[in-house]
Amino acid sequence: MKSDSDFAGPTFMHGPGGQYKIFNKRADVPEGWTDNPLDHVDAPDSADDSKYGDLTREQVIAALNERRIAFKKNAPTKALYKQLLTVVEETEA
């Protein structure tokens, strides 16, 4: 989380379970909330990197294609997922 000196409200924060909210003061931010949504994404369970979060690799690629986002086809699923999450977050902001 941002330190007191780095926290300049309003700041967009992310909680577990996909929650998000804007806070004006650090003291108002609940325990466990961070400024990075990826802090709440579980690592892939399988060693073959075929699934990330709740999405399969194919679903992540389909979502990137649907949004016409360029990506490297040989990139790890985690990297593709982060790219998708970043774009989705920017469009929702």
Q: What is the pLDDT of residues 16-72, one digit of tens each?
A: 777 788 888 888 888 888 887 777 665 544 444 444 567 888 888 898 898 888 888
| 4, 29 contact by CB (below 8 A) | no
Bridge-partner residues for 22, per DSSP?
12
Reduced to 3 states, what is the DSSP secondary structure of residue 56? strand
Whether residue 22 is found in the same domain as residue 61: no
Q: Is 71 exposed, middle or buried (0-12, 13-18, 19+ CB in 10 A)?
A: middle
| 39, 32 contact by CB (below 8 A) | no
Supply 52's token pair.
């990330």
Contacts of 49 (CB under 8 A, 6+ apart): 57, 76, 77, 78
Range(s) of the domain holding residue 78? 42-93
Whether residue 50 is found in the same domain as residue 81: yes
20 vs 1, residue with greater confidence: 20
Supply 60's token pair.
């992540």
**Domain tally for the chain?**
2
The predicted structure's pLDDT at residue 12: 80
Q: What is the pTM of this model?
A: 0.44
Whether residue 50 is found in the same domain as residue 5: no
Has residue 3 got a pLDDT over 60? no
